[in-house]
Structure 1
Amino acid sequence: MTRPVVMLFCRTYLPGFRSGGPVRTLANLIDALGDEYDFRVVTLDRDWGSNECYPGVDHDRSMPVGKAHVHYLDPARISPAVLRSLVRMVQPSLIYLNSLFDLALARRVLLLRRFRQLPEVPVLLAPRGQLNPGALELKAATKRAYLALLRHGGLLDCVHWQATGEPEAQAIREALGEGFIARNTAGLHVAPNISCARFGDPEKWQPRASNEPLRIVMLGRVAPMKNVDFAIKVLAAMEEPARLDILGPLEDADHLAACREAAKRIGPRREVHFRGPVEPADIPDLLASYDCFLSPTRGENFGHAIAEALSSGLPAIISDRTPWQDLAKQKAGEVIPLGNPVAFAQKLDELARMPGNELRQLHRYCIDYAKASLRQAAILDANRALLDIARGRGESELNRKTWC
């Protein structure tokens, strides 16, 4: 039986990892459903923020990467003609765009489609949290102007939209307008991200010595969206000794400079270390050496870093702008509204004063919660249904309009 062909356009894909969650989202999707769908990935030939091409790339043909075939493009040589030729060669049953604000690939595909330069193929667009309020707050005028241009220019007409949960679906409704969704879209569908969780063993976690600082970790890009400067304010407000390690690529130079300057002023018994990017395979072992996870993020549509931290047994102290809303109820951490670094600091101080045996029990609760939350069967079914609905082989619960 011939598998449906899904042609996926994304700015970064494997072996890249610096862009964080989006790469893992797509890799997990393809690994989980690659036996049922023929995934053809079109991406750039380098990692996020890098000027170096991946080694061994052949720009003239697609290459097998896991369960997908990947065509790597030199960003200097991308043109409408190249993208049009690739789509016509592949003849997909569905085009899947991984980003709304990707100017290198997504925008070009939408323009080609708008001016009927592509075959009439359904398009599924996943904004990956880009329309969440916290994301739109950053460079708000530019983003809203670009979104208005896409809407009024007809580039988003008859596009299927993916949200990873009801909060993101509501954010999409608010950003686009209910009327636009009702009149102009082919459907708004909810399908959670697929996790590839590697669950830790709480018995392997070693409590720190009584004179050592609380070991706090952040995992993600050093960028305004991740609110690293806020995390440093939290550390400064703590009473107990603490060390904050930030694992992730240094994306925004201005933000990094401001964070380094703030870190110099936090006083004694406080340490902040920028550890840089980490290979995905090394993350579970690294997380096992910390006491807790901190993420005062401005917004996440899923939060792969949160899932990985919980799966490794780390209590998560996070903002209220993620789908992970019931941590306190499950004894797996705390959800705290942004705006009050003292509340974050008080929770971290509470963990710092907790005896080792009690903290180990929290690690057990976190792993149990992660296992229950990341139920693969239901999530796989939702993503399978999403791909079938978008290519015209199913029916959406949120919007039953067919592709137009």
Structure 2
Amino acid sequence: MMAQSDQLDAIQVLLLTSQLASTAGGLAVSVPGLAFSLDKFDDIDTHVMGTLDPAEPYATAAWGPRAHAFPVKGPRSGHYAPGLKKAIAELNPDLVDVQGLWTYPSLASLQYARLTGKPYMVTPRGMLDPWARQNSALKKKLAAWAFQSAHLRGAVCLRATAEMEALHFRTAGLKNPIAIVPNGIELPELLVRKHHDLKSILFLSRIHPKKGVEYLLNAWSALNNTFPDWEVIIAGIDENGHENQLKRMVADQRLPRVRFVGPVHGQAKQQLYRDASLFVLPTHAENFGLVVAEALAQEVPVITTKNAPWQGLHKHDCGWWVDLNQQSLNDTLRNAMLLPGEARVQMGQRGRKWVNADFGVQQVADRMRSVYWWAAGFGARPDCIFD
């Protein structure tokens, strides 16, 4: 394979995903972050395509310097957007990187590859972990039979954001080369902490059964009387009415000092992180868990489970990486709340330093630039590719 300079001045890469909206969860942060960071290079021309969310018709521009959204026909869950196929053909990218699984963009990518012989990558974004594969299993089996299995097998490379996710690819039977590259985070301005009468335990993510919020509420049921100067804040986008189920749980158990604040974005989200004393993500499954990095970046110590690839919390002494069971979370949360405030502050400071050292957005962009040149067939194989 020849060096970049011997072949092309630039390659054209398409990041192809489902809906271009804030409701896309972590994708709404990681995909735009990648697109904008790659735009700083002269030798990669990055485009983003996906489906249009009628509730957020102006959200597209936030997804990248060249982002294009297409209207969906039929059920929104399938993301069937006929305009995508034509747009991909007209763009004629050197490489497609499909972000996510199970919906029409994967089929559109497969059809483009079969028509042109151009290579493509797949970044599953946690959709191949065991918990995710069991969720809506029948629909996924149908999609796998129709197009998804062939699409995965034909990828020149799969991208995992952590070694844990790469193992999930192998247990799913996939033998493709794997690029292990974490998500990048733009280290935010360190905000001034506001004074509050209560110290807070923050959960901020999609409000979905996968995230395990019930474990946090059960822990709070056991601990709230011991810690009257603490509260629980639950923030994020509700999915499929799960927030109402959690509110009923709070009411049924008569849990005090629990606040649901809804979706938060931008500066308001950063302030919510900064003002928290602890961040808790009792998740069933994460391919990366971008909210963990975001919390650490605002110097908040984190408790998360061994279903997320954050074992470095222990190594860097900035949080707790625990088994997902109720007693473990209860004990860990109690111990974390009993710490002197200054000890938690110091843990948070160590967390921000770690994020800056290992997950800087431009470091990740450098790695993905090398991966894309190699996957497109014009560059040397980078060290982050594993067979």
TM bucket (normalised to shorter chain) is 0.7 to 0.9
Cα distance in 2 for residues equivalent to 1:31 and 1:398? 21
Residue type matched to 1:128 in 2? R
The CA distance in 2 between the partners of 1:357 and 1:74, in whole Å, is 51
Distance 1:309 1:22 in 2: 17
1:237: which partner in 2?
Answer: 222
Counterpart mapping for 1:92-111 below 5 A = 92-101=93-102, 103-110=103-110
Moved more, 256-265 or 220-229: 256-265
Give the distance between the partners of 1:221 and 1:286, measured in 2 at CA: 15
2:208 maps to: 223
SS at match of 1:264: helix
Shift in Å at residue 9 of structure 1?
1.4
Q: Does 1:130 align with 2:118?
A: no
Letter in 1 for 2:34: L
- Once the two structures are superposed, what CA deviation does each residue of 1:83-105 show, in whole Å capped at 9, x if it has no partner? 3321221111111211112x242
| 2:243 corresponds to | 256
Find the aligned partners of 1:107 and 1:275 in 2 and give their Cα distance.
37
SS of the equivalent of 1:52 reads: coil
Alignment: residue pair count: 369
More helix by share: 2
| Paired residue type of 2:13 | V
Asked if 1:140 corresponds to 2:137, the answer is: yes
Letter in 2 for 1:74: P
1:198 correspondence with 2:215: no
The 1:271/1:138 distance shift into structure 2, 3 A limit, reads farther
Tell me what 1:34 maps to: 39
Shift of 1:138: 2.2
Q: Give the deviation of 1:106 after TM superposition.
A: 2.1
Q: Please state if 1:7 is matched with 2:2.
A: no
The aligned residue for residue 355 of structure 1 is 340
Structure 2 Cα separation of the partners of residues 38 and 245 of structure 1? 41
Residue 152 (structure 2) pairs with residue 156 (structure 1):
yes
CA distance in 2, matches of 1:372, 1:199: 16
Is the partner of 1:288 in helix, strand or coil?
helix
* Contact kept? 1:169, 1:188, Cα under 8 Å: yes
**In the aligned structure 2, how far is the partner of 1:237 from the partner of 1:400?**
45
Letter in 2 for 1:31: F
One-letter amino acid matched to 1:190: I
1:210-260 CA-partner distances (Å, limit 9, x unpaired)? xx4x4111111111111122221121122423421111111121x323211
Q: CA deviation at 1:277?
A: 0.8
Q: Report the more deviating stretch, 1-10 or 313-322.
A: 1-10
Q: 1:263 to 1:200 in 2, by over 3 A?
A: same
Deviates more, 1:214-223 or 1:368-377: 368-377
User: CA 1:330 to 1:385, structure 2 compared with 1: closer, same or farther past 3 Å?
Assistant: same
State TM-score, norm by structure 1: 0.82
Structure 1 residue 88 corresponds to structure 2 residue 89: yes
Paired residue secondary structure (2:178) = strand
Q: What value does the CA root-mean-square deviation take over the aligned residues?
A: 2.8
Q: Is the 8 A contact 1:190 1:382 kept in 2?
A: no
Letter in 1 for 2:57: Y
Q: What whole-Å deviation, never above 9, does each CA across 1:138-188 have from its counterpart, x for those lacking one? A: 233443453355466x3434212111122111101111x1xx52xxx4x32
Worse-matched range after superposition: 348-357 or 73-82: 73-82
- How far apart are the structure 1 equivalents of 2:130 and 2:185? 24
Q: Please say if residues 291 and 315 of structure 1, whose CA atoms lie closer than 8 Å, have aligned partners that are also in contact.
A: yes
Identify which of 277, 292, 307 aligns with 1:321: 307
Unaligned runs of 5+ in 2: 1-7
Task: Please give the secondary structure, in 1, of the residue aligned with 2:373.
Answer: helix
Contact 1:205–1:288 (Cα < 8 Å) also in 2: yes
> TM-score under structure 2 normalisation?
0.85
Do the aligned residues in 1 keep the contact of 2:306 with 2:321 (CA within 8 Å)? Answer: yes
Amino acid at match of 2:10: R
Question: Are residues 1:44 and 2:51 paired?
Answer: yes
Change (3 A) 1:205 1:267: same
Paired residues for 1:294-373 under 5 Å:
294-339=280-325, 341-373=326-358
Counterpart code for 1:374: F
Is 1:129–1:300's contact at 8 Å kept on the other side of the alignment?
yes
The residue that corresponds to 1:60 in the other structure is: none
Gapped regions of structure 1 (runs ≥ 5): 58-62
The change in CA–CA distance for 1:370 and 1:399 in structure 2 (over 3 A counts) is closer
1:375 positional shift:
4.3
Tell me the residue number matched to 1:189.
179
Distance in 2 separating the partners of 1:358 and 1:40: 44
Task: Give the 3 Å change call, closer, same or farther, for CA 207–18 of structure 1 in structure 2.
Answer: same
For residues 328 and 310 of structure 1, what CA distance do their matches in structure 2 show? Answer: 13
Q: CA deviation at 1:398?
A: 7.4
Whether the aligned pair in 1 keeps the contact of 2:299 and 2:349 (CA below 8 Å) is yes
Distance of aligned partners of 1:343 and 1:381 in 2 relative to their CA distance in 1, 3 Å threshold: same
CA gap of 1:233–1:107, structure 2 versus 1, over 3 A, is farther
Is it true that 1:276 corresponds to 2:281 in the alignment? no
